[in-house]
């Protein structure tokens, strides 16, 4: 299943909005005719009210709603199945491509004569590959994902690695994009963009389960790196599927000048404080959520 949703916003004169609130207006009939032209006129209902709604459905995974919002906004919400299931070609109206979507918008404009209009990009729901990732501030980012390379639930989080033709494999933790194979600039930035020298230095990496920071710092021949990552499944997935980030740096979790500890970093740091352990550099590559020992909603960090 792949259900597409498209939004059209039309800013109209107030008298247009007022006319649409009457279910028998000429404008409403014209809009119904337009919907009929794309196979949505067979079953039409009108619900005149303060916010007029006109629902047309074909019963084949396609429906549309015109809704009015004071003082001057009319919205057309259009839904359709990308591959409608029909018994025959006659029962299946044509899938609306980008060109016919624009044509539909132009026909509606002729009737509403809007001051402004906006066609929003379509949103796909229920597809085999989910291409959308919500941001922490509730925006929606669409990627060109074409495959799910890896997915598992660990004790701590949901772990996904999605493949993108543009970015390579991308690590996503609890729906938060962390790092893609193309993001070397991020790793170089967090290690100082060449302004810091790690040669002969003691380095502590907090988090960093993708192995990118470990790999970059190891290039400079440090005295010793201690990396503390809580989730073994992230490490294992990175070793197998994020070779463009970690390369071979985590094929073994211990080496002559590094050790990867699979543990919670908070008690480890408390232990270092007690021991008086010192580091030349501490690199924080932990979750974007502020670290605390107190519960934050459903999260205990």
Residues noted as catalytic: 285
Whether the Cβ atoms of residue 82 and residue 89 lie closer than 8 Å to each other? no
Which run of H or E residues covers position 275?
Answer: helix 265-275
d(C-alpha 199, C-alpha 217), whole Å: 9
Length of the chain counted residue by residue: 301
Among 190, 174, 171, which Cα is nearest to 182's? 171
Whether the Cβ atoms of residue 52 and residue 67 lie closer than 8 Å to each other? yes
116-119 and 123-125 beta bridge pairing: unpaired
State how far Cα 91 lies from the chain centre.
Answer: 35
Q: What are the angstrom distances between the C-alpha of 268 and each of 61, 154, 272?
A: 55, 21, 6
Whether the Cβ atoms of residue 64 and residue 74 lie closer than 8 Å to each other? no
Phi-psi region of 137 (alpha: psi -120 to 50; beta: other; left: phi over 0): alpha
Whether the Cβ atoms of residue 245 and residue 210 lie closer than 8 Å to each other? yes
Token digits for 208?
A: 């960093």
Whether the Cβ atoms of residue 136 and residue 128 lie closer than 8 Å to each other? no
d(C-alpha 236, C-alpha 250), whole Å: 9
Which run of H or E residues covers position 101?
Answer: helix 98-112
Q: Is the peptide bond before 36 cis (omega within 30 degrees of 0)?
A: no
């Amino acid at each position: 299943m792949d259900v597409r949703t498209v939004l059209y916003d039309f800013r109209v004169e107030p008298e247009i909005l007022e006319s649409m609130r009457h279910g028998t207006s000429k404008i409403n009939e014209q809009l119904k005719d337009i919907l009929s032209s794309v196979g949505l006129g067979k079953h039409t209902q009108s619900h005149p009210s303060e916010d007029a709604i006109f629902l047309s459905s074909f019963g084949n995974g396609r429906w549309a709603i015109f809704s009015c919002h004071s003082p001057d906004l009319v919205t057309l919400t259009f839904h359709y199945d990308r591959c409608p299931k029909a018994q025959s070609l006659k029962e299946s109206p044509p899938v609306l491509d980008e060109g016919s979507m624009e044509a539909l918008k132009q026909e509606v404009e002729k009737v509403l004569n809007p001051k402004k209009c906006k066609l929003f990009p379509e949103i796909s729901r229920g597809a085999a590959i989910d291409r959308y990732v919500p941001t922490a501030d509730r925006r929606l980012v669409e990627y060109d994902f074409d495959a799910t390379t890896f997915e598992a639930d660990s004790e701590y989080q949901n772990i996904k690695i999605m493949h993108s033709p543009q970015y390579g494999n991308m690590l996503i933790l609890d729906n938060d994009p962390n790092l893609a194979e193309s993001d070397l600039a991020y790793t170089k930035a967090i290690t100082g963009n060449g302004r810091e020298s790690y040669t002969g230095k003691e380095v502590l990496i907090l988090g960093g389960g993708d192995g990118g920071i470990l790999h970059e710092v190891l290039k400079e021949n440090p005295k010793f790196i201690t990396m503390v990552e809580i989730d073994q499944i992230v490490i294992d997935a990175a070793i197998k599927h994020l070779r463009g980030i970690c390369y071979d740096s985590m094929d073994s979790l211990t080496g002559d000048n590094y050790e990867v500890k699979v543990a919670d970093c908070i008690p480890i740091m408390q232990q270092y404080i007690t021991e008086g352990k010192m580091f030349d550099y501490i690199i924080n590559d932990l979750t974007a959520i502020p670290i605390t020992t107190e519960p934050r909603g459903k999260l205990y960090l």
